[in-house]
Amino acid sequence: MSLRPELKIDWATYEAAKYAVEHWHYSKTMPMPPVLKLGAWEAGEFIGVVLFSRGASPHLGDAYNLNNIQVCELTRIALKNHFTPVSRMIAVSVRILKIRESNLRLVVSFADPNEGHHGGIYQAAGWLYSGQTAEKFDFLGPDGKRYRDRQVTMSGKARQFGKMTKVYRVSDCTPIPLKPKHRYLMPLDKEMRKQIEPLRKPYPKKIASEAGDDRDHRNSGGAEPTRTLQKENK
C-alpha cells in the first residue's frame, strides 16, 4: 500500500497562482485583486492553489452585518492530480488565512451546478450550507460570444478596471438562464458561528449528472511550473 505524500500549504506567488488557474481551473482567469494566494505542495511538488478575495459582489458581507475586511470569498481552487482530499487543503488554508487576517470573521464560497459542482468539498470540510443564490443570466452577444451579467448593461457602458468602457446592451443580447449557485459559509469565531447557525439548511445532494466528490477539483495535470514555485509573503 502506497503512503500518502506529505502536504504543505504556504503562501504562493502571483505567478504560481496564475499558472495554476490557467492550467487547472475551468475559469482560466484570476479573480479581481486583492487576492490572498495559498499554494499546495505534495512531497515538494507544486500541485495548485487555494485563492481568497473580496469576490465579485461588493455587498458580500451585507447579509451578515460585516464590512469588506471582515468577510472574504474563497474564489478559486485550482489543483492538478493530487492525493490529499480537497477538504483538508481548504481547512488548512482557512486556518492560515485566519492567523494572517485577524479581522476576518467569515469566509463565503459558492458551488456552481452549471459547472457540475454541488459543494461536496465544502460539506466534507464542515461548512454551513445556507441555500442558493438568486437566479442569474449569462448573455449571448451579437458577436456569438457568451458574457457574464456584469459584462452587459442596460446603458451599453460599464466601468472596467477604473474607466468607462463600451459594452453590449442587454437589449442587444439573448439571455441564457443559469442554475442558482449553492452558498457555503465558514465562520471564524464563536459569535459568528452562533449568528449564522439559523441560516443552516440541509446539504444538497449530488445528482447523477454531476461529476466528482471530495476530489472534484482534481485535474489530469499539465506542464510543470518552474520559477513559479517561489513563496511570497505579501
The rounded distance, in Å, linking the Cα atoms of 20 and 224 is: 10
Closest among 71, 76, 45, 44 to 58, alpha carbons compared: 71
Query: pLDDT tens string for the chain (234 positions)?
Result: 456 789 999 999 999 999 999 999 998 999 989 999 999 999 999 999 999 998 778 889 999 999 999 999 999 999 999 999 999 999 999 999 999 999 999 999 999 888 888 899 999 999 999 999 888 888 999 999 998 888 888 898 887 667 888 999 999 999 989 889 999 999 999 999 999 999 999 999 876 544 444 444 443 333 333 333 334 433
Q: Are 193 and 163 in contact (CB under 8 A)?
A: no
Q: Are 12 and 41 in contact (CB under 8 A)?
A: no
Q: What is the pLDDT of residue 211?
A: 46
Domains of the chain by start residue, with CATH: 7-132+180-229 (3.40.630.30), 137-177 (no CATH)
Q: 112 to each of 180, 190, 219, how far by Cα in Å?
A: 7, 28, 17
Query: Can you say whether residue 97 is alpha, beta or left, with left for phi > 0 and alpha for psi between -120 and 50 degrees?
Result: alpha
Q: Are 22 and 11 in contact (CB under 8 A)?
A: no
Burial of 85 (0-12, 13-18, 19+ CB in 10 A): middle
